[in-house]
């Protein structure tokens, strides 16, 4: 099997998973800027093709939002794929080094907190859901 075709399938499946969960895919720096400038809370999921993204982060992203409190906006960028959009998003994640997969919560365009790869890797999806929902409890309004 051609490795590039295999990777395209993996990337396409990862993109589909997060879109079907209700996240808006941002593929350009301009789309990132527009998302950051929205009022309210915005959860950025930095997607990737690694095992902890597929086995933990994307399932946590999909399931954590079925909760009493949740962010106003759900968006995603894809590290290693949409490089310019990901780099632009990371410019807003002040105080945090590049990390994928990861989750960043912004409120009115300002960085609030981040779950970095080390908060995800080695955890179960259920544990990451709990971490995200704690962030939602502290920063988001009821839906």
What is the pLDDT confidence band of residue 4, given thresholds at 50, 70 and 90? low
Backbone angles phi, psi at 103, to 5 degrees: -130, 130
* CA distances for 99 relative to 2, 9, 37, 39, angstroms: 28, 23, 22, 25
For residue 1, the model assigns a pLDDT of 53
10 against 7, higher pLDDT = 10
Is there a contact between 107 and 38 (Cβ–Cβ < 8 Å)? no
**Domains of the chain, CATH where assigned:** 3-139 (3.40.30.10)
Residue 101, preceding peptide bond in cis (omega within 30° of 0): yes
Is there a contact between 11 and 62 (Cβ–Cβ < 8 Å)? no
Residue range 71-92, pLDDT digits in tens: 999 999 999 999 999 999 999 9
Give the torsion sign (CA, 45, 52, 50, 60).
negative
Residue range 8-54, pLDDT digits in tens: 888 899 999 999 999 999 999 999 999 999 999 999 999 998 888 88
Active-site residue numbers?
A: 50, 52
């Amino acid at each position: 099997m051609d490795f590039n075709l295999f990777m395209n399938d993996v990337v396409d499946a990862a993109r589909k998973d997060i879109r079907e969960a209700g996240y808006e895919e941002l593929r350009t720096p301009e789309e990132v800027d527009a998302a950051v400038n929205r009022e309210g809370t915005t959860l950025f999921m930095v997607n990737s093709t690694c095992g902890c993204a597929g086995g933990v982060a994307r399932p946590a992203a999909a399931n954590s939002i079925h909760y009493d409190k949740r962010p106003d906006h759900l968006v995603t960028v894809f590290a290693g794929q949409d490089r310019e959009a990901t780099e632009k998003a990371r410019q807003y994640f002040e105080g945090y080094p590049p990390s994928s997969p990861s989750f960043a919560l912004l409120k009115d365009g300002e960085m609030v907190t981040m779950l970095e790869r080390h908060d995800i890797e080695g955890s179960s999806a259920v544990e990451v859901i709990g971490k995200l929902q704690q962030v939602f409890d502290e920063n988001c309004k009821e839906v």
